[in-house]
Amino acid sequence: MSERLQPGDVAPDFTLSDADGNEVSLSAHKGRKVIVYFYPAALTPGCTKQACDFTDNLSLLADAGYDVLGISPDAPEKLGKFREKENLKVTLLADPDKKVLDAYGAYGEKMNYGKTYLGVIRSTVIVDEEGKVERALYNVRATGHVAKIIKDLGI
């Protein structure tokens, strides 16, 4: 379990496979702002709501200079099914070994119904054009989160 990122930190670079098996790197987005969001599992109600919210606001975010990358520990094949079923436009990336989730502090202890376990902490990290963390939000809610980001960023 790694430390949570703070504003001003250099965002850890990564290269992960998307739903089609293509490699996507954070460094390829240099010069653009990137919203990197971490979610527990494709095809689940909360994660579907969040991915649909990002998809619905993708053009607004893109016009404001933001790219959006969603990362979960799911395999690329499952991400493909998720994208097709929900008609998602957001780029979904697979992190099955949880290395990127860990590097961003988005994997760790969680509590549910009084039981502690390791899992994905729903998080969003906003990376500036230079690759530095602008904002790091942890334990966010799936519902209403995208609207809050848009409001907080003044978009």
Q: Over the stretch 47-105, which tens digit does the pLDDT of each residue have?
A: 999 999 999 999 999 999 999 999 999 999 999 999 999 999 999 999 999 999 999 99
DSSP 43-94: TSHHHHHHHHHHHHTHHHHHHTTEEEEEEESS-HHHHHHHHHHHT--SEEEE
Q: pLDDT band at residue 139, thresholds of 50, 70 and 90?
A: very high
Q: Are 43 and 119 in contact (CB under 8 A)?
A: no
pLDDT of residue 2: 64
Q: pLDDT band at residue 113, thresholds of 50, 70 and 90?
A: confident
Percent of the chain with pLDDT over 90: 89
Q: Are 104 and 12 in contact (CB under 8 A)?
A: yes
> Does residue 1 surpass a pLDDT of 60?
no
- Residues linked to residue 93 through DSSP beta bridges, in sequence order: 18, 71
Q: What is the pLDDT of residues 3-14, one digit of tens each?
A: 899 999 999 999
47 a catalytic residue: yes
Q: Which of 47, 121, 126, 127 is catalytic?
A: 47
Q: How far apart are CA 1 and CA 99, in angstroms?
A: 10
- Which residue matches tokens 């527990």? 40
| Integer CA distances (angstroms), 23 to 20, 56, 103, 105, 138, in order | 9, 24, 18, 22, 26
